[in-house]
């Protein structure tokens, strides 16, 4: 057996992972695995808690996308209590979701994946980070930090608490928005919109052209896609129907309450992360990259692929350009970044739309709820993919069962396939260096994975292996469940 290369930790992603690349005797890649090395346990310890507390508990799953969990949980709560929300309640939630999107897409493009493009994938790792960007382009660095800060401040004005939010409650939103607060938010939202416009033109003019060759080869796989669209087929990040697209571009739409008819999950013994696959295609599950079966992707590229159009004018223009360039569905993995910037522009425009909506300052933001035994499913497009919260309660409104499917989990199989493809293309005859290993990490980063979200599960079906070593590195005990 040949050499083993381990990349640990994978940097500039959310959460912890390692890549193991097994070389054969000739130094070519025999096998690769992306191992996720953390464990949370939310589905277990949420049982017995009051369901109305869930929106405030699940925010702790992730400090990067707490709003997505918060809102998905609030939507599941609405379904459990069986209530219809007043329009202002829905719009305030949607506003928070869109502002959070701008914050997170800025974070991912400039802080996490941008350094690979701005500084170059082969640059020394000491400068291949956001500090490097700030030193090389102080003006851009300042803008990036300011606009992310603005988005976080906007969330603070709307809801009091931007990280681990509390304001989406069953039946609506706890705090109405005053006209004064709206007037304070408008100039901030305009500045973020300007920055979104700048980001996409900067990326299209200065970054993407340089890397077109890399985009065409790195991590490329052929899969289906899953995303949310409105009734008219437009991109929607808060509510709508799910659309599952096959690799050939044909698709079926379904309401998210029926997700178990279309998606199933599979467990492998070498990672804590589950592998969801498209059950409704009836072809089973295979990660063989020459003939993948049941594999679909989520996150930005998937949403852009399944959408027929975008409801805001500037983003629609970018959307048309993207589609005419890359077709439908676009499969190149690194196009995730491009799609993400289109979404950034859409979110920034949507924030302006919502703030200018007279309904947004209405005082009727919530309706009362009464506990009952029920099952409720909430679904939202998190920045990292389709997020589903599924709760069951007893007649006092206490949780009896929880299932969470988060965005990154959907992308688990595709991430593994992309890394495999990248490693096989780049490592030949045992030749590799820091630049090549970083390019393999880039295949992961394109998916913007959040592994702290994805490993929320501890339900006994996931095999846990604890290896205990003594101080000399000798294995003394192995504990398994």
Partner 1 sequence: MQDADFIPGEYEKLRCFNEQGILCLGPVTKSGCGKPLAADKKQIPRCVKGFMPCRGCFGPIRAGANPMVDMMTALSSIGLDAKQIDDRRALLNRYIGGQNRLRPLPQRKGV
- Check binding of 463 to partner 1 (CB under 8 A): no
Count other C-beta atoms under 10 Å from residue 308's C-beta.
14
Would you call 336 exposed, middle or buried from its count of C-beta atoms within 10 A (0-12, 13-18, 19+)? buried
Q: Which is nearer to partner 1, 137 or 174 (CB)?
A: 174
CB of 143 to partner 1, least distance (A): 22
Q: Which is nearer to partner 1, 177 or 335 (CB)?
A: 177
| Closest C-alpha among 192, 187, 160 to residue 173 | 160
- Check binding of 166 to partner 1 (CB under 8 A): yes
Which residue's entry shows tokens 């005053």? 178
Among 15, 89, 165, 385, binds partner 1 (CB under 8 A): 165
- Check binding of 156 to partner 1 (CB under 8 A): yes
Contacts of 321 (CB under 8 A, 6+ apart): none
Q: Which stretch binds partner 1 (CB under 8 A): 166-174, 311-319, 320-328, 472-480?
A: 166-174
**Exposure on the CB side of residue 261, measured as CA atoms within 13 A:** 8
Q: Which is nearer to partner 1, 84 or 461 (CB)?
A: 84
Q: Which is nearer to partner 1, 209 or 368 (CB)?
A: 368
- Between CA 356 and CA 106 the distance in angstroms is 23
Among 102, 129, 147, 159, binds partner 1 (CB under 8 A): 159
- Between CA 74 and CA 41 the distance in angstroms is 20
Query: For partner 1, how many residues bind (rule: CB under 8 A)?
Result: 26
The sign one gets for the Cα dihedral 37, 40, 43, 44 is positive
Gyration radius of the chain's alpha carbons = 22
User: Going residue by residue from 11 to 50, which x/- string records binding to partner 1, judged by CB under 8 A?
Assistant: -------------------------------------xxx
CB of 429 to partner 1, least distance (A): 51
Among 366, 384, 389, 410, binds partner 1 (CB under 8 A): 366
- Check binding of 368 to partner 1 (CB under 8 A): yes
Among 33, 164, 241, 293, binds partner 1 (CB under 8 A): 164
Q: Which stretch binds partner 1 (CB under 8 A): 104-112, 159-167, 189-197, 339-347?
A: 159-167
- Between CA 10 and CA 23 the distance in angstroms is 19
Joined together, the tokens standing for residue 335 give 């196009």
Among 12, 40, 56, 445, binds partner 1 (CB under 8 A): 56
- Between CA 166 and CA 174 the distance in angstroms is 8
Q: Which is nearer to partner 1, 53 or 308 (CB)?
A: 53
- Check binding of 289 to partner 1 (CB under 8 A): no
Q: Which is nearer to partner 1, 100 or 379 (CB)?
A: 100
- Check binding of 70 to partner 1 (CB under 8 A): no
- Check binding of 358 to partner 1 (CB under 8 A): no
| Closest C-alpha among 404, 418, 402, 412 to residue 450 | 412
- Is 86 strand, coil or helix? coil
Cα maximum dimension of the chain? 70
Which residue's entry shows tokens 């996490």? 112
CB of 170 to partner 1, least distance (A): 11
Q: Left if phi > 0, otherwise alpha if psi is -120 to 50, otherwise beta: which for 434? A: alpha
Residue 385: strand pairing partners:
382
Give, as ranges, the residues between 167 and 226 that touch partner 1 (CB under 8 A). Answer: 167, 169, 174-178, 180-181
User: Going residue by residue from 383 to 402, which x/- string records binding to partner 1, judged by CB under 8 A?
Assistant: -------------x-x----
Alpha helices in 19-65 (DSSP H): 42-45, 54-57
Q: What angle do CA 350, 300, 20 make, to 5 degrees?
A: 150
The sign one gets for the Cα dihedral 136, 218, 109, 415 is negative
**Residues near partner 1 (CB under 8 A):** 48-50, 53, 56, 156-157, 159-161, 164-167, 169, 174-178, 180-181, 366, 368, 396, 398
């Amino acid at each position: 057996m040949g050499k083993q290369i381990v990349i640990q930790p994978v940097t500039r992603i959310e959460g912890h992972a390692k890549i193991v690349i097994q070389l054969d005797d000739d130094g070519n890649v025999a096998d690769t695995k992306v191992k996720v090395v953390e464990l949370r346990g939310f589905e277990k310890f949420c049982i017995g808690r009051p369901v109305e507390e869930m929106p405030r508990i699940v925010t702790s799953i992730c400090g990067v996308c707490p709003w997505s969990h918060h809102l998905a949980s609030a939507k599941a709560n609405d379904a459990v209590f069986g209530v219809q929300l007043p329009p202002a309640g829905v719009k305030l939630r949607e506003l928070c979701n869109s502002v959070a999107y701008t914050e997170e897409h800025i974070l991912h493009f400039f802080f996490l994946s941008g350094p690979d493009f701005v500084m170059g994938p082969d640059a020394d790792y000491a400068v291949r980070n956001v500090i490097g960007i700030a030193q090389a382009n102080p003006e851009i660095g300042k803008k990036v930090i300011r606009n992310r800060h603005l988005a976080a401040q906007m969330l603070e004005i709307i809801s009091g608490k931007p990280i681990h939010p509390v304001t989406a409650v069953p039946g609506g939103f706890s705090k109405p928005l005053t006209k004064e607060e709206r007037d304070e938010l408008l100039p901030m939202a305009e500045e973020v919109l300007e920055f979104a416009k700048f980001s996409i033109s900067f990326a299209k003019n200065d970054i993407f052209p340089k890397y077109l060759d890399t985009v065409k080869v790195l991590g490329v796989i052929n899969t289906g896609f899953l995303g949310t669209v409105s009734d008219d087929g437009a991109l929607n990040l808060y509510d709508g129907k799910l659309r599952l697209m096959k690799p050939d571009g044909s698709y079926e739409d379904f309401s998210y309450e029926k997700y178990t008819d279309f998606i199933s999950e599979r467990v492998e013994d070498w990672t804590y992360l589950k592998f969801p696959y498209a059950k409704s295609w009836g072809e089973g599950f295979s990660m063989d990259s020459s003939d993948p079966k049941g594999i679909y992707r989520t996150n930005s590229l998937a949403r852009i692929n399944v959408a027929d159009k975008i409801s805001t004018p500037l983003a629609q223009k970018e959307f048309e350009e993207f589609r005419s360039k890359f077709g439908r569905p676009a499969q190149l993995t690194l196009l995730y970044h491009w799609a993400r910037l289109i979404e950034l522009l859409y979110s920034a425009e949507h924030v302006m739309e919502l703030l200018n909506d007279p309904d947004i300052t209405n005082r009727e933001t919530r309706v009362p709820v009464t506990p009952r035994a029920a099952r409720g499913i909430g679904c939202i497009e998190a920045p990292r993919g389709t997020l589903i919260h599924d709760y069951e309660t007893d007649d006092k409104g206490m949780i009896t069962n929880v299932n969470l499917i988060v965005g990154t989990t959907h992308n688990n199989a595709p991430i593994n396939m992309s890394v495999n493809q990248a490693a096989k293309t780049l490592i030949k005859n045992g030749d590799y260096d820091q630049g090549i290993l970083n390019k393999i990490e880039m295949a992961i980063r394109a998916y913007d994975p959040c592994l702290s979200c994805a490993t929320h599960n501890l339900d006994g079906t996931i095999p846990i292996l604890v290896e205990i070593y003594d101080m000399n590195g000798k294995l003394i005990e192995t504990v398994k469940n």
